[in-house]
Amino acid sequence: MVSDAWRDLSTKEPLGLLTLLGLPGVGVRTVKLVVDRLDVLGAVHGGGALPAGVSPAAARSLRDADAVVAAYARAVAILAKAEESGTRLVTVYEESYPRLLGSIPDPPPVLFVKGTLPVDGTKCVAVIGTRKPTEWGREQTRSFVREVASKGWTVVSGLALGIDTEAQEAAVAAGAPTVAVLGGGLDRVSPAQNRALAESIPSSGGALVSEQPFEVSASKATLVQRNRITSGLSSAVVLIESALTSGSMQTVRFAVVQGRQVFAAVPEASHPTPGALTRLTTLSGAELATVIKATGEYERKLREEFRTKPVALPLRSFASAGA
CATH of the domain at 185: 3.40.50.450
Same domain, 8 and 146: no
Q: Report yes or no on 98 lying in a domain.
A: no
* pLDDT value of position 272: 66
* pLDDT value of position 214: 95
Q: Could you check whether the bond before residue 272 is cis, i.e. omega within 30 degrees of 0?
A: no
pLDDT (tens digit, 9 = 90+) per residue, 85-126?
A: 999 999 999 999 999 999 999 999 999 999 999 999 899 999
Q: Report yes or no on 192 lying in a domain.
A: yes
* pLDDT value of position 215: 92
CA 180 to chain centre: 9
**Residue 32 sits in which domain range?**
2-85
Higher pLDDT: 280 or 45? It is 280
Q: Report yes or no on 94 lying in a domain.
A: no
In the chain, the number of structural domains is 2
Contact by Cβ (8 Å): 115, 212: no
Q: Report yes or no on 21 lying in a domain.
A: yes
Q: Report yes or no on 181 lying in a domain.
A: yes
Same domain, 220 and 304: yes
* pLDDT value of position 182: 97
Same domain, 43 and 147: no
Task: Find the radius of gyration of the CA atoms of the chain.
Answer: 21
DSSP designation for 37? H
Same domain, 146 and 35: no
Lowest mean pLDDT among 140-144, 163-167, 230-234, 244-248: 244-248
> Burial, 47: exposed, middle or buried (Cβ in 10 Å; 0-12, 13-18, 19+)?
exposed
pLDDT (tens digit, 9 = 90+) per residue, 246-299?
A: 889 999 999 999 999 999 998 877 676 667 788 899 999 999 999 999 999 999
Same domain, 225 and 261: yes
Q: Report yes or no on 280 lying in a domain.
A: yes
Same domain, 174 and 302: yes
Q: Report yes or no on 92 lying in a domain.
A: no
β-strands 110-115, 207-210: how paired?
Answer: antiparallel
Single pTM value for the model = 0.94
* pLDDT value of position 1: 44
C-alpha span between 125 and 128 (Å, rounded): 10
DSSP per-residue string spanning 230-258: HHHT-SEEEEES--TTSTHHHHHHHHHHH
Same domain, 72 and 120: no
